[in-house]
Chain A
Amino acid sequence: MVPISAYLILAAVLFVIGTVGVLICRNIIVMLMSVELMLNAANLALITFSRALNIMDGHVFVFLVLTVAAAEAAVGLAIVIMIFRNRETVNIDRFNLMKW
């Protein structure tokens, strides 16, 4: 059998890749997808612990996280559409109106 530490390490690696994607990508859509990837890494850790501790509650948490991810994607993409309509770009460095 595969030890659960392997699953947890994979979840950590995926989370770091998502964080790096949020940090270095300039395309706002890819940034949103990186956030989705981070949520997925958290889901994998939840499922792993649920399996290891033999408690089903982790599955319910994953269910709720999926809902939050769907809501976040809908609102985030609406914001992307609106700022693309105003600024004609998806480059995150050009949305600096509220930057000090």
Chain B
Amino acid sequence: MNLDTIIFFISAIVAVFGATMMITQRNPVASVLYLIVSLVAQAVLYVQLNSVFMAAVLLIVYAGAILVLFLFVIMLLNLRGREDLTDHSLSMSRFTKYLVSTLLFIEMLFVVRSGFFADAGVTGVIATQPTGFGSVEEIATLLFTRYLYPFELTSVLIVAAIVGAVVIAKRDRGYGKPVATSKQEEPSRRQSTK
């Protein structure tokens, strides 16, 4: 058992542990922190797979930006201890979701045990790579030559997401009527929404 295997097993256990704790925590802030633990372990695996730049992007974009956004929203909603989400009902939907989860888990165990991944069309052991694999230069070359068009479409997607988020989360909206632009209409519209 060499160092690579040990690092892989530690990272894998931490990643699965963080993910499991994330979906079982009651407090959403603890959920976010456990997801960050899982992401850091996955970033270690990325480094092991020679994709150092993607590991950095994962940590900066996910742990640094997206999960902080989640934390901001949780702080904004002031969720802690506010309501009890435990479900004691004996409804059909509750039974169904646990049944589907169990079946999915059994299916995963079956696929893993059947050795499906061992002959996934590639060699079983990762060979040594030529230098430059996973570097920023290689990614940038691909991103700005062969994948230039999808990359430009990405910017359209982000603009659409920003505009959509602002429009959805805006507080004052006139439902079904044109939005008031002049300042004289502002007080009357406030009263009508109350």
Contacts and interface: CB of A to CB of B under 8 A. Distances in A.
A51 B51 contact: yes
B15 A10 contact: yes
Could you tell me the dominant secondary structure of chain A's interface residues? helix
B138 A56 contact: yes
Interface string B146-175: 110011001001101110111011010000
Could you tell me the dominant secondary structure of chain B's interface residues? helix
A44 B42 contact: yes
A1 to B, nearest CB: 5
A7 B62 contact: no
A46 to B, nearest CB: 9
Interface of A: 1-10, 12-14, 16-21, 23-27, 29-30, 32-34, 36-37, 40, 43-44, 47-54, 56-57, 59-60, 62-64, 66-75, 77-82, 84-85, 89-91, 93
29 contacts: A3-B118, A4-B124, A5-B117, A5-B118, A10-B12, A10-B16, A10-B45, A14-B38, A21-B19, A27-B31, A29-B28, A29-B79, A30-B22, A44-B45, A51-B134, A52-B122, A56-B134, A59-B53, A60-B143, A63-B143, A68-B157, A70-B65, A70-B161, A74-B162, A78-B165, A82-B168, A82-B169, A84-B77, A90-B79
Given A29-B31, A57-B147, A64-B154, 9 more contacts: A2-B4, A3-B124, A14-B42, A21-B22, A33-B22, A62-B54, A71-B158, A90-B83, A93-B93
